[in-house]
Chains A and B, each alone.
Chain A
Amino acid sequence: MNAGVITDSMNRDFVLAVEGLTVSFDGFKAVNDLSFYVDENEIRVIIGPNGAGKTTVLDLICGRTRATTGSIRFKERELTKMKEHEIVRAGVGRKFQNPSIYEDLTVFENLEISYPKGRTVVGALTFRRDGPVKERVQEIAETIFLADQLDQRAEYLSHGQKQWLEIGMLLIQDPELLMLDEPVAGMSVSERKKTAELLNTIIKNRSVIVIEHDMKFVEDIAHKVTVLHQGKILSEGSMAKVQADPKVIEVYLGH
């Protein structure tokens, strides 16, 4: 049904190639025969009404939910067979819908844990907080506007700052594919602007999948938009094209 959208996709090298992806929860197909492709350095935005299956798609890619059928290839590696931490180590980073940070730890420690070194038991026991680590943490903290808050316990950050911190935790991993689930949800207008700025700086040199409801924001950043509806692709293409699609207007933008 969405064959028309993907005809030209077969021969190119994609960072991420999702094909025939289906997941069923006790018979309910939250994602149904989904196929899409993400290019190098592309920013893809997924939109769709609540319950369309957007978060589930990210869950499937990062291994949190296991696909019933279908394949997810990331740089020629099949993700559906890999464990979560292996997927992360392969270069996929994911931000959750609700800010997911370690409230009991400081901002510094939050970032340090995400630093991609010492990820085994022995590695973690012998990990040293040396120069490069501190520099990198500092650098990331500046990017996410939290350089002054390094010693603050994360629990005391504002909602927006928590979102930034989680983005920073991904950034320090330097993933090739970054997946963000509603990064500006629940933010104030000024925070939203700052986040858009932040996203614009961090998306360089990597592919990004963003889920977002905020149309203004989507327009600002998207290279390509995929509209999900009931687990299937309703429409795909540039923002202008999608916005003009009568099917999309009917189910999503219309009301």
Chain B
Amino acid sequence: MTIPAPKSGRTFFLRPQDLIGIIVLAILLLVVLPLALDNFRLQFVGKYLTYAFVALGLVLCWGYAGILSLGQGVFFGLGGYCMAMYLKLEASSVENTKIQSTPGIPDFMDWNQITSLPWFWEPFRSFGFTTLAVVVVPALFALILGYALFKRRVGGVYFAIITQALAAIMTILIVGQQGYTGGINGITDLRSLHGWDIRTDSAKTILYFVCVGLLLGCILLAYYVKSSKLGRILVAMRDKEDRVRFSGYDVSSFKIFVFCLAASLSAIGGAMFTLQVGFMSPSFVGIVPSIEMVIYTAVGGRLSILGAIYGTLLVNWAKTSFSESFPELWLFGLGGLFIAVVLIFPNGLAGLWQSYVAPRLGPLFGGAAKRRAAPPSASPPASGPVAPAAAE
């Protein structure tokens, strides 16, 4: 939480230590990693960063507002599929597909005896529409869902279970409707964006920088939301929902807002995933990927915007290196991570940073003078989902 300076007031939404944190991250992602890693590894980082968008949304939605969504993969997928549809249409020009029985439609449709492009694919011929759809379609979906659930005061575990069920439904639907979605393989063989071949190394490097740029933009947005009064209302709501309601706020509209925001952020990640990796499939939509995205946030620290990014990078890096060499160990590791992050360090990396590193770095890093160390995990607060110490 912010320490306000009521006498002077804070005019800029970033505190110095936030600004330093963002700059350090920017240098790491824009300079250090591109110089230190080969193309192949850098593309991995680019892929991980697309999940960081989801983690960022979860910080706001789960960490701040206390709304745990186990269906963020759905939004990641929606964004990714929107982009994939556009790219697929471009790759399925009549010329490229003349061997098909119906040229000009995506190959998987042809395989499934579909003879004309379904109506909902049509608008994805336009890049403008696609970009808009990437952000708006998931937000609309979240809006409908949020409206239905939050207006009726469904929250907590019920919300989590319902969103999880939706992730399941979405996967089954995508897999089942092969002709329209590409089924279990997803939408593959994507080639170019406006004629620009996205499969080359140079294109991938450029896309990496685009991805980082977008991520930094989203981080700034998240900081803005967090530091606005809305951010404090989210925290207040998580703590004492009734009090907020009886201070004259329509609590559900705030929940809907933050849920939609998280959905759009995830979807941007999904679209960037499609662009960088060159395909989209239901394996990024379902229950398992959705809950794994939660663990990225938890490892980073569910209340920490920058922590979420580092958490995502770290967990994915661990996943890649472990599952290359010891695939069995990875599931133990991941399972253990879930347990540890709940039982031992509920504030994740950010909590460790706050209690062990930052105090040594002096006041610029949110010095420890005014803060308590992270409380021992054995005595979590009775209300609110998490010990609040590592609020930054």
Contacts and interface: CB of A to CB of B under 8 A. Distances in A.
Q: How many B residues are at the interface, by size bracket?
A: 35 or more
Interface stretch (B105-113, B134-142, B248-256, B351-359): B248-256
Given A121-B254, A124-B228, A127-B229, A104 B1 contact: yes
B10 A102 contact: no
Interface in B1-23: 1-4, 6-7, 9-10
A85 B248 contact: yes
B148 interface: no
Contacts of A125: 225, 228-230
B4 A129 contact: yes
A38 interface: no
A93 B245 CA distance: 11
A85 B384 CA distance: 22
Contacts of B4: 106, 108-109, 112, 129, 151
A150 B9 CA distance: 13
A210 to B, nearest CB: 17
B350 to A, nearest CB: 15
Interface string A118-130: 1111001111011
A64 interface: yes
B contact face: mostly helix, strand, loop, or mixed:
loop
A96 to B, nearest CB: 7
B326 interface: no
Interface residues of A, number: 43
A193 interface: no
B243 interface: yes
A113 interface: yes
Nearest to B251: A85
Contacts of A103: 239, 381, 383-384, 388
A230 B236 CA distance: 35
B236 A105 contact: yes
B55 to A, nearest CB: 21
Given A104-B1, A106-B1, A119 B388 contact: no
Interface of B: 1-4, 6-7, 9-10, 225, 228-230, 232-233, 235-236, 239-240, 242-251, 253-254, 257, 381, 383-384, 388, 391
Given A102-B239, A126-B228, A127-B229, 19 more contacts: A94-B246, A100-B242, A103-B381, A104-B1, A104-B388, A104-B391, A105-B236, A106-B3, A106-B4, A113-B233, A113-B247, A118-B229, A124-B230, A125-B228, A127-B228, A151-B6, A166-B243, A169-B243, A169-B247
Q: Which 10 pairs between the two chains have the least Cβ-Cβ distance? A: A124-B230, A88-B248, A127-B229, A102-B236, A104-B388, A100-B243, A124-B229, A121-B257, A108-B6, A85-B250
8 contacts: A62-B246, A102-B239, A103-B384, A104-B236, A104-B239, A105-B236, A106-B1, A151-B6
